[in-house]
């Protein structure tokens, strides 16, 4: 295909994958050869963040090119419909593209195509939201109806065991296989936009045994610790809940949970070779733009914390890799770019690179253009659990309104966020400058938590440990299908 025709576009989303967890990023253990090779072919953004490190808000930013303030979710609203904004898929279709998705969309209703011609969904076992997803249908056709979660692992926990069904039934394999089939079934007369969305490495931690075994002989990095996170009583209020929600893993327990997590990462990396190989064999690889990113990261035990929501680097920083077509002029191969980028930037970047008009509703910036933000704003949750963040090219300020707590980190010297500089005298000017920048970003209920240019926050409630009544969103036997949402079950299973 000649350069004057529109390229194909492949957007790869992974779920809960921290930005530092790549071989090309210098991680001492993780094996990501395919992703590392993508970075060698394109540009890796070293300061990429999720505007809201929670699944649904993050994916809304990707699909609408907007911030949580615009698209309306910074909490987690599983039954909220997509806002009435142009979507990434619809924008491509309006420009003559065919648009297909495979994997996790995390929208409501679950069969909302949000602009795609068609989607094959795998939604982490959420039939209570009103749809039997395509992965469950596949399992039933193979004789394993309702058995996706018969490994007994939770959607939000760090207990692990190997995958319990044949290898070919693992959803990572299913997604790669189905995307390869979608590519082969394209209309050859039109360009394509493909969205491949993996569920892992997000728990449940049930990797294929082969992938766990390759990490069994490796020394796994220890969890980061710090003075501020060791003080359990003095921990910012919004971090106390996560600290006590999960058991405090240590030693080999934590090492094995990380091995299982890494195993799911490497499995995804290897499955991408099937998709990329299909593009190559179909004669499409040289004329396909590829973007790989994640909705958010995972603390994985650092500072005694797990999962997402926090605005610390493990949870908030994400991988972001962009590869141009072979004769494109938007990206310099094998480079890194330190500009501050977010998920709202994916939509304008891909549309611009493909020569498609960017809707006026989009707030993000093209990652290949000249415009760069000086301040990145992140937010998570509301009320007493709220967390807010701003960072510039060097420093990050995190604000916890409950208790009016601040943290300040020098990310040039301390990417692990070990040394909290908020009360260090020589950094007072930096802290005050970033406080003012943060106040400019506040809206909604946050407007009550500052006075002029002073953050005042709110009183922190008395902390009580809430028992893990739902076993971290444990799933069960899904045949027959669990009940859907109704008056007595307004939000369905957690």
Separation in Å, CA 312 to CA 129, 240, 371, 449: 31, 14, 26, 21
Sheet with strand 43-49: strands edge to edge: 118-121, 98-103, 192-201, 8-15, 288-294, 320-323, 43-49, 335-342
Class of residue 253 by CB neighbours under 10 A (exposed 0-12, middle 13-18, buried 19+): middle
The average pLDDT across 206-211 equals 98
Q: What is the mean pLDDT of residues 323-345?
A: 97
Whether residue 229 has a cis bond before it, omega within 30° of 0 = no
The maximal CA–CA distance of the chain, rounded, in angstroms, is 65
Q: How many CA atoms lie within 13 A of 238 on its CB side?
A: 27
- Report how far residue 383's alpha carbon sits from residue 446's, in angstroms, rounded to the nearest whole number: 8
Distance of CA 166 to the CA centre of its chain: 27
Q: With the CA atoms of 476, 200, 341 and 100 taken in that order, what torsion angle do they form, in degrees rounded to the nearest 10?
A: -90
| Closest by CA position to 328, among listed 291, 347, 354, 349 | 354
Q: Is the pLDDT of residue 493 over 90?
A: no
- Please give the distance of CA 10 from its chain centroid, rounded to a whole number: 17
Domain 382-463: top CATH class: alpha beta
Segment 373-404, tens digit of pLDDT: 999 999 999 999 999 999 999 999 999 999 99
pLDDT at 147 over 70: yes
Give me 14's structure tokens: 């992974």
Say yes or no to pLDDT of 413 above 60: yes
CB 73 within 8 A of CB 395: no
Residue 343 CA to residue 54 CA, distance in Å, equals 12
Please give the pLDDT value at position 60: 98
| Chain position carrying tokens 């770019």 | 337
The 8-class DSSP code of residue 5 comes to: S
Alpha helix segments (H runs only) across 217-317 = 227-230, 237-245, 251-281, 313-316
pTM of this prediction? Answer: 0.97
Using the predicted structure, report yes or no on whether residue 494 has a pLDDT greater than 50: no
Instruction: Tell which wins on pLDDT, 365 or 130.
Output: 365
**Dist. CA 438–CA 447, nearest whole Å:** 12
Superfamily of structural domain 8-376? Alkaline Phosphatase, subunit A (3.40.720.10)
Where do the domains of the chain lie? 8-376, 382-463
Split at pLDDT 50, 70, 90, the class of 486 is low
* C-alpha distances out from residue 164 to 98, 104, 241, 296, 334, Å: 36, 21, 32, 27, 39
pLDDT at residue 5 is higher than 90? no
Outline where 26-133 has alpha helix (H).
33-41, 55-64, 68-71, 88-94
The encoded tokens of residue 343 equal 């998920």
Residue 130, pLDDT score: 87
In this structure, the strands spanning 395-400 and 405-410 are: antiparallel
Using 50, 70 and 90 to split pLDDT, how confident is the model at 466?
Answer: confident
Distance CA 73, CA 492 (A): 19
DSSP per-residue codes, 318-357 = --EEEE--TT-SS--TTEEEEEEEEGGGHHHHHHHHTT-P
> What pLDDT band is residue 490 in, cutting at 50, 70 and 90?
low
pLDDT, tens digit, 9 for 90 and up, residues 164-202: 999 999 999 999 999 999 999 999 999 999 999 999 999
Average pLDDT, the chain: 95
Token pair 């005050």 is found at 432
Query: 410 pLDDT exceeds 80?
Result: yes
């Amino acid at each position: 295909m000649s350069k004057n025709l529109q390229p194909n576009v492949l957007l790869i989303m992974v779920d809960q994958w921290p930005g530092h967890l790549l071989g090309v990023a210098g991680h001492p253990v993780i094996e990501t050869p395919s992703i590392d090779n993508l970075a060698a072919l394109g540009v890796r953004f070293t300061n990429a963040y999720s505007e809201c490190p929670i699944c649904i808000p993050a994916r809304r930013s990707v699909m609408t090119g907007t911030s949580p303030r615009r698209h309306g979710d910074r909490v987690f609203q599983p039954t909220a419909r997509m806002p009435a904004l142009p979507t990434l898929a619809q924008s491509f279709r309006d420009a003559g593209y065919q648009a297909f998705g495979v994997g996790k969309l995390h929208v409501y209703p679950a069969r909302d195509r949000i602009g795609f011609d068609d989607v094959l969904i795998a939604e982490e076992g959420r039939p209570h939201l009103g749809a039997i997803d395509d992965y469950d249908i596949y399992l039933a056709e193979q004789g394993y109806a309702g058995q996706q979660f018969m490994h007994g692992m939770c959607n939000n926990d760090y207990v692990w065991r190997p995958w319990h069904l044949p290898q070919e039934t693992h959803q990572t394999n299913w997604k790669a296989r189905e995307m390869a089939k979608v590519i082969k079934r394209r209309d050859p007369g039109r360009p394509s936009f493909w969205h491949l969305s993996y569920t892992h490495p997000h728990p449940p931690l049930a990797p294929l045994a082969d992938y766990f075994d390759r990490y069994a002989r490796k020394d796994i990095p220890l969890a980061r610790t710090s003075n501020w996170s060791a003080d359990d009583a003095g921990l910012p209020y919004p971090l106390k809940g996560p600290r006590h929600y999960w058991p405090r893993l240590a030693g080999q327990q934590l090492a094995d949970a990380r091995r299982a997590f890494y195993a799911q990462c490497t499995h995804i990396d290897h499955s991408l070779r099937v998709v990329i190989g299909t593009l190559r064999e179909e004669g499409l690889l040289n004329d396909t733009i590829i973007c790989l990113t994640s909705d958010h990261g995972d603390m994985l035990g650092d500072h005694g914390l797990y999962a997402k929501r926090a605005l610390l680097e493990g949870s908030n920083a994400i991988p972001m890799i962009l590869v141009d077509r072979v004769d494109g002029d938007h990206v310099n191969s094998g480079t890194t770019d330190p500009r501050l980028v977010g998920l709202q930037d994916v939509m304008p970047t891909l549309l611009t690179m493909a020569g498609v008009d960017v809707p006026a509703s989009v707030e993000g910036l093209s990652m290949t253009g000249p415009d760069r933000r000086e301040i990145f704003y992140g937010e998570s949750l509301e009320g007493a659990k709220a967390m807010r963040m701003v960072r510039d090219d060097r420093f990050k300020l995190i604000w916890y309104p409950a208790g009016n707590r601040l943290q300040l980190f020098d990310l040039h010297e301390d990417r692990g966020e070990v040394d909290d500089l908020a009360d260090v005298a020589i950094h007072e000017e930096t802290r005050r400058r970033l406080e003012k920048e943060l106040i400019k970003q506040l809206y909604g209920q946050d407007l009550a938590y500052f006075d002029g240019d002073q953050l005042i926050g709110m009183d922190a409630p008395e902390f009580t440990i809430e028992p893990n009544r739902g076993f971290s969103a444990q799933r069960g036997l899904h045949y027959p299908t669990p009940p859907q949402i109704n008056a007595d079950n307004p939000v369905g299973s957690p």
